[in-house]
Amino acid sequence: MKSAPKQAASTGADGRPWYRQLWPWLILAVPAISILLSIVMLTLALRSDDGLVVDDYYKEGLGINEVLDKKARAAELGLRAQLTFSEDRRVVRALVHGQSTQGAPLLLRFVHPTRAGEDQSVTLHPLGGMMYESTVAALSAGRWHVVLEDQGETWRLSGIWHTSASQLRLEAPRD
């Protein structure tokens, strides 16, 4: 009696080698996709700026009291401002009400919530009366924190501006 020839260990029940079967490739796809996604995530982590991390939390905490004092000073002076942006968002005009400025230039800052590298400061120059103007470099679309201060940084008005809006009203907080 002749015995049937043995199948090689590298072939399946249907006689095809393992690399022509579907199941080994499905099993190998899971770790291959994991490795590929890990490389993508590592690349994103290394290329992006982690703008939310603060080096000195204690110093940042102390700065909050200074900000509150500046806002209280703005309320004492009865300050409010209306910012108007040109159609291309390159020119900003500020109409400032209250006993504040007496024709001195003002500081206007645009602070991005997550990307500190995009923050921008401009000096608003008086046009006469209570009107001020300055040009602004292009800002990325989205939400921005806007801060208006005098040059001595004794008072502060702030608000949130969406680049789709052409105006922004800044008022001192009331207790």
Based on the fold, state whether residues 28 and 96 are members of the same structural domain.
no
Report, as an integer, the average pLDDT of 146-161. 87
Q: Is residue 133 part of a domain?
A: yes
Q: Which domain holds residue 26?
A: 18-45
Residue 3 within any structural domain of the chain: no
pTM flag (> 0.85): no
Q: What is the pLDDT of residues 9-48, one digit of tens each?
A: 566 677 888 888 888 999 999 999 999 999 999 999 888 7
Mean pLDDT estimate for the chain: 83
CA 151 to each of CA 46, 82, 87, 100, 124: distance values in angstroms, whole numbers, following the listed order: 38, 18, 27, 11, 10
- Residue 149 sits in a domain whose CATH number is 2.60.40.10
User: Tens digit of pLDDT for each residue in 117-151?
Assistant: 889 999 989 888 888 999 999 888 889 999 998 88
**Same structural domain for residues 165 and 85?**
yes
Domain count, the chain: 2
- Asked if residue 107 and residue 33 are part of one domain, the reply reads no
Query: Does pLDDT of 165 surpass 80?
Result: yes
Question: What percent of the chain clears pLDDT 90, i.e. is strictly above it?
Answer: 27
Find, among 158, 172, 50, the residue nearest to 109 by Cα: 158
